[in-house]
Chain A
Amino acid sequence: MPGNATSIAVEAGHLHKRYGSTVAVDDVSLSIDAGEIFGLLGRNGAGKTTTVELIAGLRRPDRGTVRVLGLDARRDRARLRQVLGVQLQASHLHAALTVTELVRLYRSFYPAPLDAGELIESVGLTASSRTRFAALSGGQQQRLSIALALAGRPRVVILDELTTGLDPEARRQMWSTVEDLRDSGVTVLLVSHAMEEVERLCDRVALLDAGRVVALDSPAGLVRGAGFAQRVTFRATEPVPDGLLERLDGVERVRVDGDRVVVEGRGDLLQAVSVGLVRAGVVVTETRSRQATLDDAFVALTGRRLENEEEATP
């Protein structure tokens, strides 16, 4: 089906991978369109990196198939290496070589590489071009790693934990680099556990949990799966009269846990709740309002939060 292959950049079908008794990837199927930024989001250990390694042909799946631009990830490896750029999580480079030396080395592997100077400039490392890899900061190492992934003018790029360990400024720089990639027609597979990054960059996102795809949609579509649009929480210094909140405009759900109250709904929920409480003469403190996020969608789907440090207490 050559006509079909032109619009789909990455096609993974029913991937399974098991390490000993641990199932790392359990029947994962993905179809990534050419030119889109596709996010793979999940907690640590959800199987993101293994999925990426299967797609990059670094590991052999126990079952299932991977095709990148129509090339089989294992059988057509030599061709795949020329069109696929990969930035691997936590992989090191020759520690004693400088930025320029590493860029020259990696360029030499490809038939029509990008210009070394422009490549270094594009990730903001021109001032450090004579610095050895071991002496670069974590963010600089990360940026160099991305530059090397782009050296061969790839048509598909895999970026694993793109901005982990970067400061906010470097993170924004990295994001605009990725957007430039999409604008030039490159397909990007972005692996992340940072919701903000995925919401900002990705056209579509697959949520991975315990080796399975639990949801696949646009970021906005996934957020709708959270089951609410707005959430207002506050502490009531006295009991809120029964039914008061439920009658307000846009309120869909109310949970009371001691003096802590959670109101979920849509529209201008904060405004509606504040006015309602003031009219009833109820004094509240610590009022907070926020929109539903991908994290809320993740909780709704899996019962747990995405970020490890804030475990869910439902």
Chain B
Amino acid sequence: MTDVAVHRPGLRSWAELLVCELKMVARDTAGLIVPIGLPILILVMNASAAGRQELAHGRTALDVYVLPLVFTMVVATTGIINTPSFLAYYRRSGILRRLAVTPASPAMVLVAQVAVGVLQTGLGIAAAWILALLAFDAQPPVRVGAAVGVVALTTAAMYAVGMIVAALAPTPNSAVAIGLALYFVLGALGGMFGGRDSLPGAIGAIGEWLPFGAAVEALSAAWSGAPVAAAHLIGLSAGVVIGVAVAAAFFRWE
């Protein structure tokens, strides 16, 4: 009777779950407004305020300061606020509990959620980028490869932070509350409400190492053609490692 071989769901099963999650998102039209509408809104609000004078390599303040901030905010919003609250809803409604009595693993659900979130974020960034190009004469980053790499690393870091929230929040309500609080703390320390230069020295320095501040700085550097500082890459990587470790250790089905 104990001759049951361990069988883990294969790639086909992962793909099936991913498709299901995509359908869930695509059929929830209201849920698409934040990741796609928000970046465009932030861009429009900030673009006209940014000065037109060139800072370096023909890039303006819009390119060097506004776009990195907008892109970071998009990634942080879906990663730290949306995904944890979606998972919290799954947990409350018993969907995760139902999956927990099948051979599906929690990792499958987390990965599918992240993949869908990343896709949504990608759509949002693409929409904002096209609008910035057409309406505000935005310039591409001087170092495109570095910029793409930083966005990818930022995405990983923000979702890892979101997974900490999903793993540790005891209730769906607290998941949203903790996610929002964390988002605003990281954002404030990272220059979301005005430059980090205006923060007290020590706090500003800490903010530069945290994922939000590190992402804005690194992306800004890539855009203006400056080298990306190691400190920012280390800060983002540390976010990824810590987030994955905490989520893997503490995530529960219910």
Contacts and interface: CB of A to CB of B under 8 A. Distances in A.
Interface of A: 2, 5-6, 56, 58, 69-71, 76, 78-79, 81-84, 86, 88, 90-97, 101, 104-106, 108-111, 132, 145, 148, 152
Contacts of A5: 1-2
A232 to B, nearest CB: 46
Interface in B1-45: 1-2, 4-9, 12-13, 16-17, 20, 23-24, 27-28
B172 to A, nearest CB: 13
Nearest to A84: B101
Given A58-B253, A109-B104, 20 more contacts: A5-B2, A58-B254, A70-B2, A79-B2, A79-B5, A81-B101, A83-B4, A88-B98, A91-B97, A92-B94, A97-B23, A101-B23, A105-B17, A108-B9, A108-B16, A109-B13, A109-B103, A110-B103, A111-B7, A132-B27
B233 to A, nearest CB: 37
Nearest to B92: A92
B20 A94 contact: yes
Residue from A92, A93, A109, A152 having most chain B Cβ neighbours under 10 A: A109
Interface string B159-192: 0000000000000000000000000000000000
B95 interface: yes
Contact of B28 (A70, A71, A96, A104): A96
A110 B13 CA distance: 9
A110 to B, nearest CB: 7
Given A97-B24, A101-B20, A106 B102 contact: yes
B100 interface: yes
A94 B103 CA distance: 17
The DSSP consensus for interface residues of chain B is loop
Nearest to A59: B254
B93 interface: yes
B109 to A, nearest CB: 11
A296 B11 CA distance: 54
Nearest to B104: A109
Contacts of A145: 98
A177 to B, nearest CB: 19
Contact of A92 (B17, B27, B98): B98
B94 A90 contact: yes
Tell me the dominant secondary structure on chain A's binding face. loop
A46 B29 CA distance: 42
A20 to B, nearest CB: 14
A58 B24 contact: no
A95 B95 CA distance: 9
A123 to B, nearest CB: 16
Contacts of B20: 94, 97, 101, 105
14 contacts: A78-B6, A78-B103, A79-B5, A82-B7, A88-B101, A91-B98, A92-B94, A93-B98, A104-B16, A106-B102, A108-B17, A109-B9, A110-B9, A110-B102
A101 B104 CA distance: 16
Given A5-B2, A104-B16, A92 B7 contact: no
Nearest to A151: B102
A71 B5 CA distance: 12
Given A91-B95, A101-B20, A152 B102 contact: yes
A93 B7 CA distance: 23
B16 A56 contact: no
A72 to B, nearest CB: 10
A111 to B, nearest CB: 4
B171 to A, nearest CB: 16
A90 B93 CA distance: 9
A87 B108 CA distance: 21
B97 A58 contact: yes
A133 to B, nearest CB: 10
Contacts of A70: 1-2
A106 B98 CA distance: 10
A88 B200 CA distance: 54
In order of increasing CB-CB distance, the 6 nearest A-B pairs are: A91-B94, A108-B13, A86-B101, A96-B27, A70-B1, A79-B4
Contacts of A93: 95, 98
A96 B97 CA distance: 18
Contacts of B95: 91-94
Contacts of B103: 78, 81-82, 109-110, 152
A93 B101 CA distance: 13
A76 B4 CA distance: 10
Contacts of B100: 58
Given A58-B100, A58-B101, A109-B104, A82 B16 contact: no
